[in-house]
A = this chain, B = another copy of it.
Amino acid sequence: MTIAFDFTVTTDRMEAFRSISGDDNPIHFDTFFARERGFDGPIVYGGLLIAEVSRLLGTALPGHGCVWQSLTMKFRRPLLVGERAQLEAEVKHETPPLGIRLIRLTISAGGRRIAEGEAMTLLPEPRSAREAAE
């Protein structure tokens, strides 16, 4: 099973993440600072790419009730603020009785691979469902 969606990190979302995290690293806001270090402009927080992963895992694959066991991300190339990107998720392995899934994640933009990684998720059964099965 594979699902994908497009997203764009706007300046407003960058400001919201700065506020929520307290991470005021100027590489995410200051064009001169970012260009001095070889980037075309301010680059999106890795933490905001992971917020997209959070949306995907928590709402769609596997969805509501999902708990993260582990997350691994490699950040290959920077994503620029305002640039349209795509997050793709594919289930690589499932252990149905325990609700465990290994999900492969890929973020790309403009033909570039931005980031890739894997999440292991658990989908605990509600107690009422467990009791009904006993």
Question: A residues near B, CB below 8 A?
Answer: 13, 16-17, 19-28, 33, 36-38, 43, 45-48, 50-55, 57-59, 63-75, 78, 124-128
| Copies of this chain in the oligomer | 2
Tell me the minimal C-beta distance from A39 to chain B in angstroms.
8
Whether A33 touches B65, Cβ cut-off 8 Å, given contacts A47-B54, A55-B21, is: yes
Name 25 A/B residue pairs within 8 A (Cβ), A-sorted: A17-B20, A17-B51, A20-B48, A20-B51, A21-B52, A21-B55, A22-B59, A23-B57, A23-B58, A24-B64, A27-B64, A28-B58, A33-B65, A36-B126, A37-B124, A46-B54, A47-B53, A50-B71, A67-B75, A68-B75, A69-B75, A70-B72, A70-B75, A71-B71, A71-B73
Q: Which of B36, B43, B124 makes the CB contact (< 8 A) with A128? A: B36
Q: If the complex has contacts A64-B27, A67-B43, are A37 and B125 also in contact, measured as CB distance less than 8 A?
A: yes
**Cβ-defined contact, B127 with A24, below 8 A:** no
In the complex, A24 Cα to B54 Cα: how many Å? Answer: 9
Residues of B within 8 A of A13 (CB): 20
CA distance A38 to B59 in the complex (A): 20
Chain B hits for A48, CB < 8 A:
20
Contact among B51, B66, B69, B124 with A38 in the assembled complex (CB-CB below 8 Å): B124
